[in-house]
A and B are shown apart, each in its own frame.
Chain A
């Protein structure tokens, strides 16, 4: 596979990039900081990555998305898989008190992520198809008190990815929407892990399986599919009372 990965220097993206590289896929890391990109690329090479490239790309600068994907494609000699794990997280309190932060998070997690996916979609379809994998969240499954704004961005993203899947699968575009539950990464540092919290490496293995099979939706860790089934079926009166 020839994979471009936005957000592959950290967290679940880092774990996923390693799995690709270790099994011999060509990987191009897209990210904001060139020095960080180079350190991560070296990590992938030391772990046996044969073809590893880097291209600067900032989720808050959508004008750079197209050129970055072109550059990645140039480095790897084509692209058939695009993954975006990048995104922002902030607590609900913080977002309520800081309008500018909320606006930035809305833009990064929804608008710009969709714009990035659109750029990837065009290129993958032009090349005859491929896989587009984006990291949404279980937070998008239901409006909930601790993730009102963050959850809304992920709900929008999940809806977009589902539509994409319906419309373009026949044309050869396989869409994979990843819905992680709580995963112990730098992004969730400082939050108390709930029961069933996942580790990035285990999540990445599950996601890789879903990418290989073209599974449209994957919960990780798997138990969250069940948890969210319950949460989705709770009546509003109950949701209003509980803090989850």
Chain B
């Protein structure tokens, strides 16, 4: 094995490490400190601590172990991907209850990050639908946990970033759908004020909502963008047959650093905005609706050799109706030219002890890594702490430990559960070393 091999998250910031895949997860995770899935977390969540190189990875452990067509209960090995779940079960009118922005994620990753999607205000996080988990613990024991059994371990594992145990098997409830097609509505939005209004209005009417904001527009047009709403189409609305597999485009090579300069991104965003009609509604293919970026393989290469990070935070309702506007103002002022700024409403906090969402508004934007990235993230985090918000660990690479502690009053309770099950902090990641002070 080559000694200079590296591992990276989706943001392409490599560290030394080797990924080992295999079908037998129980054997693979023996003695390991962390397991990764498809490596789609942006930062260092799926990267080993500095003293560890070998990282077991789950994607080959992908069997469906049981599916009950009466109740929709599905149990599978942790490496099964959302893409595969949708491919197999959508034609049979069952869907994952939570559909995040990418389908290239594993069940284990969905539990560890307690992922949310466009439906958070209606369905909550993935963890709300998890019935039971099979884990390998720090002392190498294998246990089953649920809301009834080892409830503390269960709650800490949902959104626990893999720090409580290696997730081997996941049992969760699928959601019945009327057809595998989507009925969607797209609306052009003039500014951040209209955005917040429309989001609130859509919350009661649509199960799937997401907004796209042009972050480069300032002044009266600040926060202009497009709002996408949708629901599963009824059998009558749906076209005949199942949605065909979409052709994929691959970014063939790493773009040079200067490719994503401000004028280019401004033009791109302007194009997206102007081509949008005021209001359109109709049947949509589920892939571009739920996972638009999955159509382009390896799109992370467009950010060039230095990689990128995503800043995703949630601003709680308590911060006031004006909070998203103030945060967006800061953001545009700091100027981290970004294709994608995503906005949506979150529902209430769920079962997971460290899960990201809480009642309020979430914003997410990509930032190409440059010398001032740390400073930008620090400034955003300081503003965020003031508003009582927090960041999403699955996206984070730059938050400082002291900032994390101040935005996470729940951290002590989480660490207490970890201490109970893993007193020596054997299970850890590059991220937990950075944010929770775990041993290197």
Contact = CB atoms under 8 A, between A and B. Distances in A.
Contacts of B18: 190
A11 B22 CA distance: 9
Contacts of B64: 42-43, 46-47
Given A42-B66, A46-B66, A46-B67, A190 B23 contact: no
A189 B21 contact: yes
A40 B20 contact: no
| From A42, A43, A46, A184, residue with most partner B Cβ within 10 Å | A46
B63 A43 contact: yes
Contact of A184 (B21, B23, B24, B66): B21
B368 to A, nearest CB: 27
A14 interface: yes
Nearest to A9: B23
A200 B59 CA distance: 11
A243 interface: no
Given A42-B64, A46-B64, A46-B67, A186 B2 contact: no
Interface in B51-92: 60, 63-67, 74, 88, 92
Interface in B1-36: 1-2, 5, 18, 20-24
Interface string A1-30: 000000001110010000000100000000
A14 B23 contact: yes
| From B2, B63, B67, B74, residue with most partner A Cβ within 10 Å | B63
Contacts of A61: none
Interface in A175-190: 184-186, 189-190
B21 A48 contact: no
Nearest to A192: B2
Contacts of A39: 63, 65
A191 interface: yes
B63 A186 contact: no
Contacts, number: 46
A187 to B, nearest CB: 9
Interface string A33-55: 00000011011001110000000
Contact of B88 (A9, A48, A192): A48
A11 B67 contact: no
Contacts of B63: 14, 39-40, 42-43
Nearest to B74: A46
B22 to A, nearest CB: 4
Contact of A185 (B60, B66, B67): B60
| From B5, B60, B67, residue with most partner A Cβ within 10 Å | B60
26 contacts: A11-B23, A14-B63, A39-B63, A39-B65, A42-B63, A43-B63, A43-B65, A46-B65, A46-B66, A46-B67, A46-B74, A47-B88, A48-B88, A48-B92, A184-B21, A185-B21, A185-B60, A186-B21, A186-B22, A186-B24, A189-B21, A189-B22, A190-B18, A190-B20, A192-B5, A200-B60
Given A10-B23, A22-B88, A186-B24, 17 more contacts: A9-B23, A11-B60, A14-B23, A39-B63, A46-B66, A46-B67, A46-B88, A47-B88, A48-B88, A184-B21, A186-B21, A186-B23, A189-B22, A190-B1, A191-B1, A192-B5, A200-B60
The 9 closest A-B pairs by CB, nearest first: A46-B64, A43-B63, A186-B22, A46-B67, A186-B23, A43-B64, A10-B23, A189-B21, A189-B22
